[in-house]
Structure 1
């Protein structure tokens, strides 16, 4: 009997080679992806559900299999689930637009990625709240795996938004003044650090909270030049500050409401006010006179729309490389984060939802088992 078995296998060496070459494919057949999904729009705490989905049995030539390392929870993610965000994936959908993943296997025609590489989604709507998945290689951008997981997972949205707004609207020179509200927000923290790096003077408006002193100390540590609370905007403190510095050429707004009345008035003639958020949920308010007599210009900025334009792809890679270098040189740091295991996603979602009307809460980061 033993001899018969030996003869049987010795007659089929190609079968053994086939099994050895395709052990990863066989292994993938038993992989299940844990995905945080929603079948209807609504409050995230009510509509999100953790589902197990089988990974495709084999990769197509242009596909990769990946494991998520970490995924952020941004206000846009919450809005997307609520159905009020312009990017609306087909339902049911996996939540999450930003994160970092590691490549585990590649199709035989994939040339831009290798096993072990780190990558980030190329566009919004990727669905990063899952532990493993399969994607087309063209939908991913390779990044430097010398970054920390937290740095890589938060590279695409907040620092990129800050960088673009400082680069694209005003030709700033060292010494020029940038005025922003929501300075404690994740974007605001990046604006402060990039202003310091480029030599711009930052004037930062924060809300009056119980932890105001802590926030001021932290922003100064990041490199903030001047900090005003909202209550100080009509005081002698603000008047004295702006009498001693050049009028800001650029204003960055993520609050709207009454905050922008002051900002528009403070800008220099022909200054530009760029809006990238509306945390107050109030309309943008700008005095008519600033538009007529100071010729203030109003602009909106949306990172996802900028990323989607083909003409920006070369500049995008340059931007990501620049930001990566600054992170590795410790000239830029991630915003204050709270890293939460994926299994505790309910806590992370709750805290992210509670933070949608404030700029002082820590950014939530879902961390996956490696």
Structure 2
């Protein structure tokens, strides 16, 4: 009788340890065209947690250009395959392991680094894989809190000592990073000259960016006339395009000015004006937000940054771009729209 009882208890404990929850996740087993290699699957997620593990329920995640590049296999960070897409989003903590002290069920968190795979409904991570954020941040802001606003924040803070009235020039001003640059700079009373692509609705776009705090908005054609005009004397240039566009930005820099390159949307080599490089001693540097997160010594700066960005959001001084909200089941349409038009920003809502 005792042996039978012990056997029953043993089987019950084994069943409990194997009991799992499920998660829908957008996965890929090889690199390639996202529409061909991605697949929506339902997988099991352990209910039982290790000491320092947490289980989260993802609430929303955007589709960023870097996410698409990662699935294509052309992004510098390549997670082990099979992998789940998505590098940014926010989640609610469902459960914590016995050794977790800084998080509790109900907390909102964002990814602390790339590679967590946010295009899924549920997952288990180590406690230090996520960062706690305030629950009073609007939904769309929370979902896009890890990549674009921090990129803008760091570029405005880390390379040049910018003061009130100083000038920053940037291309790709309509991008998520570009819009964040405009708003953060405006809050600090830093002037911005912003370059965008020519388009049919250019007047509407100019008005929209100026409503965010942009001082000037020009097309690339217009910018050629402003290098020695309203764009002259910039202390900082932010380049996400490359090619001729980067050449124009660098030409606007004052003595010892800095151009930070954080993208290459044109897929053209960086062009640099020889004169300013030699006679103005301008500097060219690169910046990658994902790499910045990997430095342990940046932890306190990261916390200060999120606190300041959160305060900007809560006070209404920072607005997120408009997103088309999609269910994970509609991933093919969402990815098609994300690839075909940068203006159609996509957000998975779970």
Structure 2 SS opposite 1:34 = strand
1: CA distance between counterparts of 2:307 and 2:235?
27
**Secondary structure of 1:98 counterpart:** coil
d(CA) in 2 for partners of 1:100, 1:254: 25
1:320 aligns with 2:306: yes
**TM-superposed deviation, 1:30:** 4.9
Q: 1:331 aligns with which of 302, 309, 317?
A: 317
Cα deviation, 1:260-301, whole Å, max 9, x if unaligned, reads 111111110111000001111111111222211111100100
1:181 aligned to which of 138, 159, 171: 171
8 A Cα contact 1:253 1:260, kept in partner:
yes
Q: Closer, same or farther in 2 for the Cα pair 1:233/1:302, shift >3 Å?
A: same
Of residues 132-141 and 39-48 in structure 1, the stretch that sits farther from structure 2 once superposed is 132-141
1:281 alignment partner in structure 2: 267
Asked if 2 retains the 8 angstrom alpha-carbon contact of 1:186 and 1:363, the reply is no
Give the greater-gyration-radius structure (CA): 1
Deviation per residue, 1:116-169 (Å, 9 max, x gap):
000011111010010011111121111101112211110111110000000000
Partner of 1:241: 230
Q: Is the 8 A contact 2:228 2:252 kept in 1?
A: no
After TM superposition, the score normalised by the length of structure 1 is 0.88
2:5 corresponds to:
none
Contact 1:265/1:290 (8 A) holds in 2:
yes
Q: Is the 8 A contact 2:168 2:193 kept in 1?
A: yes
Q: Cα RMSD (Å) of the superposition?
A: 1.9
* 2:202 matches 1:220: no
Match of 1:102 among 75, 92, 109: 92
CA positional deviation for 1:362: 3.2
Aligned to 2:348: 366
Higher strand share: 2
Q: Deviations over 1:208-245 (max 9, x none)?
A: 0112111101001101101111111233x664424xxx
Q: Among residues 298, 305, 308, which one is paired with 2:284 in the alignment?
A: 298
CA distance in 1, matches of 2:238, 2:336: 28
Does residue 49 of structure 1 match 2:23? no
| TM-score normalised according to structure 2 size | 0.93
Q: Distance in 2 between matches of 1:84 and 1:124?
A: 15
Corresponding residue of 1:266: 252
In structure 1, distance between residues paired with 2:21 and 2:106: 18
Q: Is the Cα contact below 8 Å between 2:259 and 2:284 reproduced in 1?
A: yes
Unaligned stretches of 5+ in structure 1? 1-14
Question: Which of residues 232, 241, 245 is equivalent to 1:255?
Answer: 241
Q: Contact (CA 8 Å) 1:232, 1:238: kept in 2 or not? A: no
Tell me, yes or no, if the aligned pair for 1:28 and 1:55 is still in contact at 8 Å. no
Is contact 1:100-1:119 (8 Å) kept?
Answer: yes
> Which residue of the partner structure matches residue 200 of structure 2?
210
Give the deviation of 1:363 after TM superposition: 2.2
**Unaligned stretches of 5+ in structure 2?**
1-8
Q: Is residue 17–residue 48 contact of structure 2 (8 Å, CA) maintained in 1? A: no
The answer on whether the counterparts of 2:227 and 2:252 sit within 8 Å (CA) in structure 1 is: no
Measure how far apart 1:336 and its partner are: 2.5
Question: Structure 1: how far apart are the matches of 2:227 and 2:273?
Answer: 18
Q: Which moves more between the two structures, 336-345 or 173-182? A: 336-345
Q: Which runs of 4+ in 1 moved over 6 A?
A: none
8 Å CA contact 1:34, 1:52 repeated in 2: yes
Distance 2:114 2:200 in 1: 35
TM-superposed CA distance for 1:27, in Å, is 11
1:11 paired residue number = none
Cα–Cα, structure 1 residues 188 and 108, in superposed 2: closer, same or farther, change >3 Å? same
